[in-house]
Amino acid sequence: MRKSIDIFHKNPAHQRKILSDPNNMPYKAQFQLGPEILELEAFAILDKERKYTGPIITWSVATTRIEQEKRINRLAGFVENNPGNMIAADKDLVIQYMNPASTKVLRTLEQHLPTKVDTIVGQSVDIFHKNPAHQRKILSNPANLRHEAMIQVGPEILKLSITANVDDNSDYLGPMVDWGIVTD
């Protein structure tokens, strides 16, 4: 070992300037090394008199995590910007997410809803049902999903298509409903 970190830099003077000043610490950087993305953190080492003696540098391979974050952000963008109406609940049937399209359309039906649109997220799906036990039986078991239903909300008829939302291990996270107004 015992090699200078300069071997990793195109412009070692730049890194030396950063690492020579404890006021720059902690310092974080991300760089490409071959096919991998590395994350580096530098922390100041101080002696007993609080005098800066140099940096300690840690690094980790972050390629997989960064690729997963990019994938998650891309998928979140698909859902967030989807023109279709989408609402998702957790396994306890508490609504965790409603995309902007749902919010916009539900505002037009708000006077016919049991709660204000802005308070839907965080509430149980039970607020929308006269007989919650029936819906709970369907929604609590992913084997019952895909489930389709037509409901009336005020003057409008809505078509609901409910699917199981699962994680990468196929574990059930809760129901997700894609819905739209289908009134003739």
> Which domains are present in the chain?
5-65 (3.30.450.20), 83-181 (3.30.450.20)
Q: Which range is most confident: 9-13, 28-32, 47-51?
A: 47-51
Give per-residue pLDDT as tens, 67-87.
999 998 998 888 889 999 999
What's the pLDDT score for residue 1? 59
Q: Is the pLDDT of residue 90 over 90?
A: yes
pTM beyond 0.75: the answer is no
Candidate from 1-5, 70-74, 86-90 with smallest mean pLDDT: 1-5
Average pLDDT (29-57) is 93
Read off φ and ψ for residue 143, nearest 5 degrees.
Answer: -65, -20
- Average pLDDT, whole number, for the chain? 92
